[in-house]
Chain A
Amino acid sequence: MTLTSAPEQRLEEMLPKTFRVIGKEWETTDTATLFFEDVAGDPIEFVPGQFMMLYVFGLGEVPISIAGNRLDDHTLMHTVRAVGAVTDGICGLETGDEVGIRGPFGTGWPLEAAIGRDLLIITGGIGLAPLRPAVLQAIDTSDKLSSLSLLYGARTPKDLLYKQDLLGWEASTDINVETTVDRAGFDWRGDVGLVTTLLPRIDFEPENTDAFVCGPEVMMRVVARELRNTGVPKERIAVSLERNMKCGIGFCGHCQYGSDFLCKTGPVVPFDRFERRMTAGEI
């Protein structure tokens, strides 16, 4: 039985390309931002919110969101927290080292849909990384938004990512930035408390608001419901869900979340479609 197919071109989806580290900055004591270039010199194209599969020689492969600016098509930026063998390996890379990268995979933040509306970007912890490209793109198009706000929560002031970016954004008139932490001493001049307690500080018209939320799942539920309580339509709230993506193209089965393969229909999904699953547990 003969089936038509084009195996040559499809194999590439599982084959990493060689990327070289061109810079590294430690964000916190265990989280590093790495900058890569494609050794072949091909431009990097992605939609904010998408992820790549990063392969470290002999150690394995992990899904990592893209944190860089979509306008810089020569630099691929990833922020990685060292929590296992492969991410330890990534954080241990130095300038000049080479890794394998394939992608991008998955869905992006629905920025187009937010045009003409108030856009709230709410994030906690390392959840700012997948949102950073969206923040940058939103700032670029802020004249087309009614308003643009970033609410960011972290554990302590030391754990805030992208401190230089935050200073710049705080000084910018294109975006309102409010930052809060869970723990701080009195040398911290910012806020202390849950990220949702910052909502009253922001001017937005709930029924005309889109929200992008990224953080631990329970944080996203709490934030999404607080937004709903203020009147933001649930279908206008996008969240980024994370599972154990292994292949990125819906074959390995690991990232199933109900009937969704999150590597294909996620990671960015509308909250209302997943709310029940997020509350059920162990799906």
Chain B
Amino acid sequence: MSLESLKSSAQLLMDLDEDGLEFLESVATEVVFPAGAIIFEEDQYADTFYLVADGKAGLEVVLATRPPVLLETVGPGEMLGVSWLTYPYRWAWRARAVNRSTLVAFDADAVRARCREDHKLAASVYLTVADESGRRLHAARVRLLDLYPGGRE
């Protein structure tokens, strides 16, 4: 059900041909996380990757002396994390559902394995993730400038 809606909103699925789409569907499952639930842990092996179908999920970092900080949120149609695709296939940050969220989970091992054989699929997957990584890098650099004044602490 959720996968259907993603076909017209998630770049990864929009760019695929019939074969690719059929394959991804075969390794997809729908998962619902209640608000606050942890989706994956920092440095955990990425055996699964996720597209958000509904709700909002975020990457967070745990700090020693302060409460966890939310680094970035993603919403419907967007990919939760990009580090699943490249070596060492581990999540850089912890992910958590901000609101109750419906995610489509894909078998990351299967997708990576298939990409080694099927270069057409690989081109689509890598292009989407490269695009998304570039956008996130750009956004991170702009945010690095700490543009907006903050009130006195």
Contacts and interface: CB of A to CB of B under 8 A. Distances in A.
Complex: A in contact with B (CB within 8 Å): yes
A153 B149 CA distance: 11
B87 interface: no
A183 interface: yes
A29 B152 contact: yes
A200 B78 contact: yes
A182 B146 contact: yes
A31 B150 CA distance: 9
Interface in B120-143: 135, 138-139, 142-143
A184 B77 CA distance: 22
A215 interface: yes
A168 B148 CA distance: 24
A83 B146 CA distance: 17
Interface string B54-66: 0010101000000
B145 A218 contact: yes
A193 interface: yes
A24 interface: no
- Interface magnitude class on chain B: 20 to 34
Given A186-B60, A186-B67, A186-B96, A192 B152 contact: no
Main secondary structure, interface of B, reads loop
Contacts of A171: none
Contacts of B148: 124-126, 153-155, 159, 182, 215-216
Contact of B36 (A184, A186, A200): A186
Given A193-B73, A216-B148, 19 more contacts: A31-B151, A124-B148, A125-B147, A153-B148, A159-B149, A183-B70, A184-B70, A186-B67, A186-B98, A191-B73, A192-B58, A193-B139, A194-B139, A200-B75, A200-B78, A201-B76, A215-B148, A218-B147, A222-B138
